[in-house]
Amino acid sequence: MDFFETLSLRCPGLTIQKNIRLDKYTTLRVGGPADYFAEPAGEGELIQLLKAAKDAGVPVLLMGNGSNLLVRDGGFRGLAVRLCKAFSRIEPWEGGLSAQAGALLSALSRAAADAKLTGLEFAQGIPGTVGGGVYMNAGAYGGELGAIIDSVRVLDGDTVQTLSPAEMAFGYRFSRAMRDGLLVLGARFRLQKGDGEAIEAAMRDFASRRKEKQPLEYPSAGSFFKRPAGHFAGALIEQAGLKGCQVGGAQVSEKHAGFLINRGGASASDFLQLMALVQDKVENLSGVRLEPEVRIVGDDKL
């Protein structure tokens, strides 16, 4: 019995697909096929699915909105699990808002504004989900999710745990979930009552700044590189004369050098070659080796 049949028996209500291309599930719009693909309908189904994969020794790729993900052209030899609508609930609690892993950060920020709660304005334009955002401690404009989290629900093997911010060990684009391979199921955010007009004004300001400075008209993964200590990645790339540099359909944005964009028809290989070119030239000029912020997974060839 192959893994597909095993999954079908162990998760009878779940639709499992074979050889599904992942490019349409990433904001870069690149990526080859996953051997298996599923979108579980709830935590129970998710836990069953992951246990079946673990028992069979099949690698798992967990996905949200695919906004910080580069899947190589050969795709992923294993099971891609996407947490989306079934994991998108946002609810109030006495200290702020609670959200499941599949909720979009933009939707969470909007819900906070509607409730006149301040603290999440910076997240209104981040294209990722709560799960991915907490996993990497996403942030923008001086704000980070780790700074406003009350607790995080994670799946550690077969066990669901609730961790405090200290236990999550948040750092710059880092958390314990990333270090220990924990699956973020959801989080509670500590927010304060605020002035509705001031909150809306802050969100409009952030949206305006994003539109003015970021290449929102093209597929991208957001900031492609981590911010190196004492520097800004975009500034180093621009100083190296790399704005507009292109490999195939992948280009260093002419609007913001910290973004690598898909000008149309780009492959994952184009992005990987462009990334290496940028890293080498920046290092040769400044001595700083840029590290990718995006998660790179999969095989180069089928």
Q: Are residues 78 and 103 in the same domain?
A: no
Of the listed 39, 121, 144, 293, which one is catalytic? 293
Q: Is 45 a catalytic residue?
A: no
Mean of per-residue pLDDT scores for the chain: 94
Of the listed 98, 223, 253, 267, which one is catalytic? 223
Q: Are residues 168 and 80 in the same domain?
A: no
Q: What is the pLDDT of residues 58-77, one digit of tens each?
A: 999 999 999 999 999 999 99
Q: Which helix (H) or strand (E) holds 292?
A: none
Confidence of residue 14 (pLDDT cuts 50, 70, 90): confident
> What region, left, alpha or beta, does residue 286 occupy, with left being phi > 0 and alpha being psi -120 to 50 degrees?
alpha
Question: Which residue, of 140, 164, 198, is where some domain finishes?
Answer: 198
Q: Are residues 32 and 101 in the same domain?
A: no
Exposed/middle/buried for residue 58 (C-beta within 10 Å: 0-12, 13-18, 19+): middle
Using alpha carbons, list the distances in angstroms from residue 65 to 54, 127, 213, 288. 23, 7, 22, 30
Q: Are residues 193 and 99 in the same domain?
A: yes
Q: Are residues 189 and 228 in the same domain?
A: no
Q: CATH code at 63?
A: 3.30.43.10
Q: Examine the pLDDT at 6 and tell me if it is beyond 90.
A: no
- pLDDT at residue number 32: 97
Q: Are residues 9 and 44 in the same domain?
A: yes
Q: Are residues 45 and 75 in the same domain?
A: yes
Confidence of residue 11 (pLDDT cuts 50, 70, 90): confident
- Segments forming the whole domain that contains residue 246: 216-297
236 and 228 in contact (C-beta within 8 Å)?
yes
Q: CATH code at 162?
A: 3.30.465.10
Question: Which residue, of 65, 85, 105, is where some domain finishes?
Answer: 85
Q: Which helix (H) or strand (E) holds 41?
A: none
Q: Is 67 a catalytic residue?
A: no
Domain-embedded: residue 177: yes
Q: Are residues 42 and 63 in the same domain?
A: yes
Q: Are residues 17 and 28 in the same domain?
A: yes
* Number of domains present in the structure of the chain: 3
Domain-embedded: residue 208: no
> What region, left, alpha or beta, does residue 75 occupy, with left being phi > 0 and alpha being psi -120 to 50 degrees?
left
Mean pLDDT of 150-159: 93
- pLDDT at residue number 1: 63
Q: What is the pLDDT of residues 75-115, one digit of tens each?
A: 999 999 999 889 999 999 999 999 999 999 999 999 999 99
Confidence of residue 141 (pLDDT cuts 50, 70, 90): confident
Mean pLDDT of 154-181: 94
Of the listed 82, 173, 188, 227, which one is catalytic? 173
Q: Are residues 99 and 183 in the same domain?
A: yes
Q: What is the pLDDT of residues 264-300, one digit of tens each?
A: 999 999 999 999 999 999 999 999 999 999 999 999 8
Question: Which residue, of 31, 54, 85, is where some domain finishes?
Answer: 85
Domain-embedded: residue 209: no
Domain-embedded: residue 211: no
Confidence of residue 231 (pLDDT cuts 50, 70, 90): very high
15 and 82 in contact (C-beta within 8 Å)?
no
Q: CATH code at 248?
A: 3.90.78.10
Domain-embedded: residue 256: yes
- pLDDT at residue number 58: 93
Q: Is 153 a catalytic residue?
A: no
Helical ranges in 85-232 per DSSP H? 105-114, 130-136, 165-168, 176-180, 196-213
Mean pLDDT of 161-182: 95
